[in-house]
């Protein structure tokens, strides 16, 4: 019937618009609100009551705004409702603010729910107002039950060390009026009695006026961190395959034991165990079978030790045992029991049965042998001595035992050799090989010899370190050093005026290097790296090494001959079947074993051996070289026999390779 000018203005109409419209209001209400508004309007109109609803109403421009619609029916003299009068208030801004507030609250709730730490808020008196889901899980309380309770009722904190009740964090924050972080781990006692290690912090909640109207408490469960730290600690000290302690932890326990041995005079013993022929099982059945054997052996050994003894996996198929407070005779009995226990194990894999045995080196920690390196080195030497004597035995270390002492000394060279390789403390020497008849020769022909420099720069004789290098697998590394440096020196020589005077250079290769599948590729890489005539390179291998690796030696010789390289077979005649193997090895030179050469001028048997080797070599089209030529008489005898070349101290004493070649090149130019 009537719309006030202000109402029209709110909807964007002019004062004179829709004067005669009677149903305009209902037609402009938002469709989602029209039903509820219409129902309320009719119900209140018919019952003569007032109503108060909120609805969206369209403006002239078609946008909807929120209005609060209030009305009261007007009755005639008979009490019948004949019209309704009311007012409409624009509440759009209030609705927008409420929606934003609701959205903000929802975001806050989602944020608190997603936080990985427990969040508890209280009022200034310490009464709980809110718990996020993590706090509910930590305390064991639901927010509906916890709300309105004092903090101490749902969050009982005790000090981990003393087990005494911890100070109330809410009181601390309110007293100091600042954020308080407690670094020490506390125990949170859940409502079911379970204790959780936590760290916590609290902060005041301030209003716009700066006054504190509550406190927020953050609880961080450190259970996972502790478990992770414990796991890392375990992994750092234990072997992943067997669960035994590893080498680092074994050495740590040994150090502690040695301290007690030195200070208190206690007797301890250390064993070094190495499975025999473990590689056979690995190569035959694969590494998975090898791992299974290691686990079985470690379990058996552990069961045979005393309580308090320490078993460690040192690496691969090697184990260490520390026997504390154990006299030597008792330690020897335990070692024998371990050996027999291992021997009794019949390992089966893929339907195949393998006999298992172990070699054990035993050291009694007394008589001043207290340092870790001394004991481990002695035990290792004794273990390898046990292997040399036939395996499956216990070798007791004794200082006066010359065999073990020799092995002990060799093991000391291992570290020195490795360090010398790292620090490039090797040097090449050269020794001439000359024609016996003074006519038939190859120009300048020499054999390269490797020498090591000690820490003070003094020369170390080859027999001091070569046996240890061969025994402990270091010769392939030394051979690589020799090859690389020989090629580099030869390249520099050939670039000098007169450098072509070096006709042939012999480089020794060990048996271990011949068995190294990667060495063939390494030689090819060095040929590509250095520019030198490949036909001036002669590789020298011993007869015993060639026979031990016959297939690989033959393949290596054939591949290198494709480059034009030549080969010399060293120490020929020392083997039992020298002539039988010779026809399978396409070598160019035979170096007659010096043991036959050095006394051939006086010993007719040695002379006959030299003559026979020389004769067979010539029949096979190979040239011969006699080693260890130490006198003019031996040289004359070689000339009579018809040997092609001679090498020895009487012919030429070895000298440093590079300076000597520079002098040769200079004189030739």
Residues 167-194 have a mean pLDDT of 84
The CATH number given to 5-96 is 3.30.450.20
Location of each CATH 3.20.20.450 domain in the chain: 426-668
For residue 660, what pLDDT band results from cuts at 50, 70 and 90?
A: very low
**b/e map 481-514, b = 16+ CB within 10 Å:** bbbebbbbbbebbbebeebebbebbbbbbbbbbb
Mean pLDDT of 404-431: 79
Contact 631, 403 (CB under 8 A): no
Domain 115-226 adopts which CATH fold? Beta-Lactamase (3.30.450)
Q: Quick one: which of 160, 164, 162 has its CA closest to 185?
A: 160
Flag whether pLDDT at 161 surpasses 80.
no
486 or 464, which is more confident? 486
Whether the pLDDT of residue 555 is over 80: the answer is: yes
Whether 576 has a pLDDT exceeding 70, the answer reads no
Out of 13-27, 75-89, 93-107, the most confident range is 75-89
Distance CA 92, CA 98 (A): 10
Collapse the DSSP code of 594 into the 3-class scheme (helix H, G, I; strand E, B; otherwise coil) and give the result. helix
pLDDT over threshold 80, residue 370: no
> How far from 344 is each of 297, 319, 330, 349, 357, CA to CA, in Å?
11, 18, 21, 16, 8
Q: Please, where in the chain does CATH 3.30.450.20 lie? A: 5-96, 115-226
Residues in contact with 57: Cβ distance below 8 Å, sequence separation at least 6, in sequence order: 11, 25, 28, 29, 30, 64, 65, 67, 88
| Rounded average pLDDT over 10-32 | 72
Q: Which of 336, 340, 386, 397 is nearest to 359 (CA)?
A: 386
Where does 436-486 show beta strands of DSSP type E? 444-453, 459-460
As a whole number, mean pLDDT of residues 2-24 equals 72
Which has the minimum average pLDDT: 222-231, 449-458, 623-632, 640-649? 222-231
33: helix, strand or coil: helix
Lowest mean pLDDT segment, chosen from 326-335, 489-498, 536-545, 597-606: 489-498
* pLDDT at res. 21: 54
Q: How long is the chain? A: 669
- Span(s) in the chain for CATH 3.30.70.270: 240-399
pLDDT in the model for residue 667: 40
Mean pLDDT of the chain: 83
Residue 472's alpha-carbon distances to 23, 465, 466, in angstroms, are 107, 11, 10
Q: Mean pLDDT throughout 639-643? A: 93
User: Can you tell me which residue has the tokens 């419209």?
Assistant: 21
* Confidence label for 105 from pLDDT (cuts 50, 70 and 90): low
Asked: is 426-668 a CATH 3.20.20.450 domain? The reply is yes
Residue 402: half-sphere exposure toward Cβ, Cα within 13 Å: 0
**23 burial type by CB count under 10 A (0-12 exposed, 13-18 middle, 19+ buried):** exposed
What is d(CA 257, CA 322) in angstroms, rounded to the nearest whole number? Answer: 9
pLDDT at position 397: 83
CATH number of 240-399: 3.30.70.270
For 457, the 3-state DSSP assignment is coil
User: Do 554 and 584 meet the contact criterion of CB atoms below 8 Å apart?
Assistant: yes
Give the separation between CA 6 and CA 498, rounded to whole angstroms. 117
62-96 confidence digits (pLDDT tens)? 888 888 888 887 877 877 777 778 888 888 888 77
Determine how many CB atoms are found less than 10 A away from the CB of residue 10.
17
Per DSSP, what are the bridge partners of residue 159? 186
Residue 669 has what pLDDT?
34
DSSP reduced 3-state for 11: coil
């Amino acid at each position: 019937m009537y719309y006030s000018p202000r109402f029209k203005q709110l909807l964007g109409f002019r004062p004179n618009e829709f004067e005669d419209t009677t149903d305009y209001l209902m037609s402009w209400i938002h469709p989602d609100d029209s039903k509820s508004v219409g129902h309320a309007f009719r119900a209140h109109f018919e019952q003569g009551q007032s109503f108060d609803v909120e609805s969206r109403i369209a403006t002239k421009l078609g946008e909807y705004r929120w209005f609060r619609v209030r009305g009261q029916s007007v009755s005639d003299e008979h009490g019948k409702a004949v019209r309704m009068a009311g007012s409409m208030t624009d509440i759009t801004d209030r609705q927008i603010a409420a929606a934003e507030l609701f959205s903000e609250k929802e975001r806050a709730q989602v944020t608190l729910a997603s936080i990985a730490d427990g969040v508890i808020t209280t009022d200034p008196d310490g009464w709980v107002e809110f718990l996020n889901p993590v706090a509910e899980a930590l305390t064991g309380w639901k927010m509906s039950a916890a709300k309105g309770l004092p903090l101490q009722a749902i969050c009982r904190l005790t000090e981990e060390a003393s087990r005494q009740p911890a100070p109330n964090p809410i009181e601390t924050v309110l007293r100091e009026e600042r954020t308080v972080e407690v670094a020490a781990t506390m125990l949170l006692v859940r409502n079911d009695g379970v204790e959780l290690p936590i760290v916590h912090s609290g902060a005041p909640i301030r209003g716009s006026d700066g006054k504190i109207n509550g406190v927020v408490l953050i609880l961080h469960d450190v259970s996972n961190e502790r478990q992770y730290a414990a796991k890392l600690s375990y992994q750092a000290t234990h072997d992943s395959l067997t669960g035994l302690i590893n080498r680092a932890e074994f050495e740590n326990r040994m150090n502690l034991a040695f301290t007690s041995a030195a200070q208190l005079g206690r007797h301890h013993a250390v064993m070094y165990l190495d499975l025999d022929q473990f590689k056979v099982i690995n190569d035959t059945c694969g590494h998975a079978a090898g791992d299974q054997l290691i686990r079985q052996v470690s379990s058996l050994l552990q069961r045979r030790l005393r309580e308090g003894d320490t078993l460690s996996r040192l690496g691969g198929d090697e184990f260490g045992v520390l026997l504390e407070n154990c006299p030597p005779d008792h330690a020897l009995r335990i070692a024998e029991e371990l050996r027999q226990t291992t021997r009794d194990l019949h390992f089966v894999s893929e339907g195949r049965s393998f006999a298992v045995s172990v070699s054990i080196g035993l050291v009694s920690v007394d008589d001043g042998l207290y340092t870790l390196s001394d004991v481990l080195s002695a035990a290792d030497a004794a273990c390898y001595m046990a292997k040399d004597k036939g395996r499956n035995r216990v070798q007791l270390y004794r200082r006066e035992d010359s065999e073990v002492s020799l092995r002990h000394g060799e093991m000391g060279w291992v570290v020195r050799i490795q360090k010398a390789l790292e620090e490039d403390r090797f040097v090449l020497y050269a020794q001439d090989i000359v024609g016996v008849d003074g006519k038939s020769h190859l120009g300048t022909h020499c054999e390269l010899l490797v020498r090591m420099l000690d820490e003070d720069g003094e020369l170390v004789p080859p027999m001091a370190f070569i046996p240890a290098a061969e025994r402990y697998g270091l010769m392939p590394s030394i051979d690589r050093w020799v090859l690389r440096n020989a090629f580099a020196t030869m390249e520099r020589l050939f670039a000098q005026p007169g450098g072509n005077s070096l006709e042939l250079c012999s480089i020794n290769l060990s048996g271990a290097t011949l068995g190294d599948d990667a060495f063939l590729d390494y030689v090819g890489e060095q040929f590509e790296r250095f520019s030198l005539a490949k036909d001036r390179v002669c590789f020298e291998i011993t007869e015993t090494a060639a026979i031990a690796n016959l297939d690989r030696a033959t393949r290596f010789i054939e591949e290198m001959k494709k480059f034009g390289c030549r080969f010399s077979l060293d120490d020929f005649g020392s083997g039992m079947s020298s002539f039988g193997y010779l026809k399978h090895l396409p070598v160019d030179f035979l170096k007659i074993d010096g043991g036959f050469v050095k006394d051939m001028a006086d010993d007719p048997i040695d002379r006959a051996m030299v003559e026979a080797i020389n004769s067979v070599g010539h029949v096979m089209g190979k040239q011969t070289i006699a080693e260890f030529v130490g006198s003019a008489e031996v040289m004359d005898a070689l000339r009579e026999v018809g040997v092609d070349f001679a090498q020895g101290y009487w012919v030429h004493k070895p000298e440093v390779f590079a300076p000597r070649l520079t002098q040769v090149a200079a004189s030739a130019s």
